[in-house]
Structure 1
Amino acid sequence: MTTSTIKSQKLADDFGNSDLKLKDIIKTLPQECFQQNRHKAWAKVLTSVLMVCLGYLSLIIAPWFLLPLAWIFTGTALTGFFVIGHDCGHRSFAKRRWVNDLVGHLMMMPLIYPFHSWRIGHNYHHTHTNKLDEDNAWHPIRTEVFESWGKIGRSSFEGFMRNRLWWIGSIMHWAVVHFDWSKFREKDQSSVKLSVAVVVLFAAIAFPILIATTGLWGFVKFWLIPWLVYHFWMSTFTYVHHTAPEIPFVAESKWNAVLAQLSGTVHCDYPRWIEFLCHDINVHVPHHISTAIPSYNLRFAHRSLRENWGAYLYPECRFSWSLMKRITDQCHLYITDTGYQSFNDYHAGR
């Protein structure tokens, strides 16, 4: 058993034997963390719009050998659109609901991401973070579930993980979940239908115009590849935020909100230009303590959590190939009450 695993078990015992509630953590945060600032909020919108325009300008003027850099920049800037929509989904962008809904739809529209579909599903993730079979963001596959799949299903999933294809995970999630309103509660279906109609209408107008004026290559160059880069970051942020060999996923009967949100969520540092374009979405722990904290207050809130709850936070990490290799090599299947198991260990034990 590793030192990190021992620490994780100790934290679980500490929280399980205490009456500490999530609201007790929230009370220790300065009130300034929750204050909305319309100037900062709209400055984020202006920044993202300018950076995306700069990205598309670079795609227009860049010689072919610089296109990969332009694609990376543009796709990362588009991720900033999603983060603003993310604030809108949590009602932390503006005080008025209609403003949040309008801006959220406008920001997610170029990404073909139905706003209300994502908002409703994502709030469910916050309610059930790191809960086995309930967390709908990026949950591990239990060994018994894996074994219930057919040979093709098992081979496909194992190939997906072994070939480090985590970066297409959000595309699969987007395609399977967000356009099917029958998967949502009846009272939410009208909102979901509205959001689906918005993005379908946008695609029906924008895509033919783009293809007619720039050809199929223009569609690939100006929309598809930047969109794939955006999904790379969507998948990566989600994966890294909630996945590490020592982070537990537990059954509902043993689930503790404080342990899940404070100690089961990962802070990861990225190159500063990525954090700038993505509005500090990587500063993720305070966002799980309270979704009311706007993105421009996340760093302030994180400093407070370090000061007051540092001993309970998962060790901070830095984005790197070695980090992704560690996660993708070890976090394959999940054994209830035990933890992650690699495919190598799984096959060795059979």
Structure 2
Amino acid sequence: MVVQEEKDYQNGFDPSALPPFKIAEIRAAIPKHCWVKNPWRSLSYVLRDVLVIAALMVAAIHFNSWYFWPIYWVAQGTMFWAVFVLGHDCGHGSFSNSPMLNSIVGHILHSSILVPYHGWRISHRTHHQNHGHVENDESWVPLTESLYKSLDNVTRMMRFTVPFPMLAYPFYLWRRSPGKVGSHFNPYSNLFAPNERKEVVISTICWSMMFSLLLYLSTIISPILLLKVYGIPYWINVMWLDLVTYLHHHGYKQKLPWYRGKEWSYLRGGLTTVDRDYGWINNIHHDIGTHVVHHLFPQIPHYHLIEATQAAKPVLGEYYREPEKSGPVPFHLMKYLMQSISTDHFVSDAGDIVFYQSDPGLNNNSGTKSE
């Protein structure tokens, strides 16, 4: 059953149609060397990012000028986000073939920006295993119509008014999304299996150590300086994280499907993801915008994603949506973000293939009224 406000397919292409290819065909099209993980190359990216972060901190403290601080905040927040992406690679095992190395580097990188490594790694694995599934997905899951209508007006406004959704990640770590319960810090959360509890405890301890270190530093260098050096870049990083992850799964110019029941498959869910171009920032945040192939094959290292995508495109055909090219700064993505947040409010409670619908009463939305 398909629920959609309008059947408005571009060039007659239905993105919810069963693809005429199998995931094995995509895999076979990707060169074998794209699957090879080079730990030294991965570590070189860590070294690069850490050196840039250190240099920016030294420069900020040296100049200590209101002319320089805004530049520092944007640059350093972007570097914090780049560090998150490398920790993300550790979580997928695409950083190296060594679970121990992945875990050590992942804990160091993610704890440094207040992310519980294993807690996030496990929930992110759930996201990849269930991408595009209305109920089982974990990242930016659509609200069903009944759940949407049960929310109070303040919660609706916070979820669907920029910039509030772009500040959601720390709250998601503690409480997840509406309609879901549990915490990434609680080993007994339903996010985790019993045999994963020890790992979650370790990550929560690492997070707590980093948070305690920040509190201690605030007594030495003053809370205001710590806010300027670390606090504001942290929130810039959060905005990057929420922006990028949201646009991986929302805001395409053509409505894309979400699935339930027998209509969902790993391949169909992965094909609902969207590649994005961030211009020269692509290199800084490790090509995370090259996302479709990453979602289908998260074992591929980030430095092979572009080549793997080019090889996969002939197989994907119209199921691959070419990203709009970015200018020097990816401002073009803001129109997709604003459009999606203002119109993509909920999906139907019924139907195995559903599309986002709009609430015309929210923010004076002019979208089509939901049934």
TM value normalised by structure 2:
0.85
Give the structure 1 partner of residue 37 of structure 2.
Answer: 36
Question: Structure 1 residue aligned with 2:196, among 180, 188, 193?
Answer: 188
Point out where structure 1 has 5 or more consecutive residues left out of the alignment: none
Structure 2 match to 1:224 = 231
What is the letter of the counterpart of residue 250 of structure 1?
Answer: Y
Task: Assess if the C-alpha contact under 8 Å between 1:55 and 1:77 holds in 2.
Answer: no
Aligned pairs, number:
339
Task: Please state whether the residue corresponding to 1:13 is helix, strand or coil.
Answer: coil
d(CA) in 2 for partners of 1:257 and 1:159? 31
Give the helix-richer structure, 1 or 2: 1
2:261 is aligned to 252
CA–CA separation in structure 2 for the residues paired with 1:322 and 1:101:
37
Counterpart for residue 326 of structure 1: 339
Distance 2:370 2:105 in 1: 52
Equivalent AA in structure 2 for residue 123 of structure 1: R
Match of 1:277 in 2: 284
> How big is the shift at 1:175?
2.5
1:6-52 Cα shifts (integer Å, max 9, x gaps): 52xx343333xx5x432332122111110112332121111111121
CA contact 1:88–1:100 (8 Å) conserved in 2 = yes
Query: After superposition, where does 1:192-341 map in structure 2 within 5 Å?
Result: 192-204=200-212, 206-244=213-251, 246-261=255-270, 263-272=271-280, 274-317=281-324, 318=326, 319=330, 320=332, 321-335=334-348, 336=351, 337-341=353-357
What one-letter code is carried by the residue in structure 1 that aligns with 2:139? A
- How big is the shift at 1:342? 2.0
How well do the aligned residues superpose, as a CA RMSD in angstroms? 2.1
Residue-by-residue CA offset, 1:115-138 (whole Å, 9 max, x unaligned):
111111111111000101110011
SS for the counterpart of 1:141 is: coil
Look up the SS of the partner of 2:347 in the other structure: strand
Give the match's secondary structure for 2:356: strand
Contact 1:11/1:259 (8 A) holds in 2: no
8 Å contact kept, 1:38–1:94: yes
Q: 1:68 aligns with which of 67, 70, 86?
A: 70
Partner of 1:133: 135
Show the 5 A alignment for 1:102-117.
102-117=104-119
Letter aligned with residue 157 of structure 1 = R
Pair 1:163–1:23, CA change in 2 (3 A): same
Report the CA distance shift for 1:348/1:155 in structure 2 as closer, same or farther (over 3 A).
farther
CA contact (8 A) 2:73 2:233 kept: yes
Structure 1 letter corresponding to 2:52: M
Percent identical among aligned pairs is 24
The correspondence of residues 148-159 of structure 1 with structure 2, limited to 5 A, is 148-149=150-151, 152=152, 154-159=153-158
SS at match of 1:65: coil
Select 1:178's aligned residue among 184, 188, 193: 184
CA contact (8 A) 2:74 2:233 kept: yes
Aligned AA (1:303): Q
1:5–1:122 CA distance, 2 compared to 1 (3 A):
farther
TM-superposition CA deviations, 1:36-91 (whole Å, max 9, x none): 12332121111111121122123212511331121010011011111111111111
Structure 1 position 195, deviation (Å):
0.6
Query: Quick one: structure 1 residues 315 and 165, their matched pair in 2 at CA, closer, same or farther if it must change by over 3 Å?
Result: farther
Say whether residues 1:161 and 2:160 are aligned partners: yes
Tell me the distance in 2 between the aligned counterparts of 1:161 and 1:119.
27
| Whole-Å separation in 1 of the counterparts to 2:170 and 2:210 | 19
